[in-house]
Amino acid sequence: MKYSKKERQKLLQQTIIDNPFVTDEQLASQFNVSVQTIRLDRMELSIPELRERIKGVAAHNFENDVKSLPIDEVIGDIIDIELDERALSIFDVKEEHVFQRNGIARGHHLFAQANSLAVAVIDDDLALTVHSEIHFVKPVRAGDRVISKALVTGKDDSKSRTFIELTSTVENEVVFAGKFEMYRTKGKGEK
């Protein structure tokens, strides 16, 4: 469907309000225009690019929530967190994150996103990884958006441990999975 510029910009604005994490490429496809047209529309409407929108949401919503490490030390951008329950982050894979010879993301970037999210979800001033079991399920490439979900599955207060399952996906396909055992300073009965 073809829209006038005014209609497209109004719909574009509403689409971004509804989903601030939508990419320019997705918008271009949705409105059947070029990515450049979307960028020009965003500029005219004073809508920042995706990266800035994500940072804005993360900084505004979660900067004071994360206790175990500074928000800028989390690999990826936290877009949702409920301490000691669950957390969600986005990591956009760029050329500097992949091997030059095959274009596949270096594993330490995917692990760093997962591990830092496991640390961030802990409701404590200190959280350290004691043990992890990880599985790289599918290759990730430059241009992929990795969405990691951390879920707290249990606690052992007598040992100051929290257990977390983490799954990372690209376009709803699992690319990385792991189980993390985290040490925290708060144990049984501590506040």
Distance (Å, whole) CA 112 – CA 14: 34
Higher pLDDT, 110 or 45: 110
pLDDT of residue 125: 87
Higher pLDDT, 57 or 14: 14
pLDDT of residue 75: 87
Higher pLDDT, 33 or 59: 33
Chain mean pLDDT for the chain: 87
Map residue 108 onto helix, strand or coil.
Answer: helix
pLDDT of residue 188: 45
Confidence of residue 20 (pLDDT cuts 50, 70, 90): confident
Higher pLDDT, 141 or 26: 141
Distance (Å, whole) CA 23 – CA 89: 16
- When pLDDT is averaged across residues 30-36 and rounded to a whole number, the result is 93
Instruction: Summarize pLDDT for 82-133 with one digit per residue, the tens.
Output: 889 998 889 999 999 999 999 999 999 999 999 999 999 998 988 999 999 9
Domains of the chain: 5-47 (1.10.10.10), 68-184 (3.10.129.10)
- When pLDDT is averaged across residues 134-139 and rounded to a whole number, the result is 96
Per-residue b or e along 96-115, where b marks 16 or more CB atoms closer than 10 Å to that residue's CB: ebbeeeeeebeeebbbebbb
Residue percentage of the chain with pLDDT more than 70: 87
Q: Are 168 and 114 in contact (CB under 8 A)?
A: yes
Confidence of residue 189 (pLDDT cuts 50, 70, 90): very low
pTM of the model: 0.69
Neighbours of 183 (CB within 10 A): 16
Listed in order, strand segments (DSSP E) in the chain are 77-82, 86-92, 127-136, 145-156, 161-170, 173-184
Lowest mean pLDDT among 24-28, 39-43, 70-74, 121-125: 70-74
pLDDT of residue 16: 84
Distance (Å, whole) CA 184 – CA 120: 11
Q: Which helix (H) or strand (E) element contains residue 119?
A: helix 107-120
Distance (Å, whole) CA 153 – CA 44: 46
Short-list 186, 187, 164, 188, CA closest to 177? 164
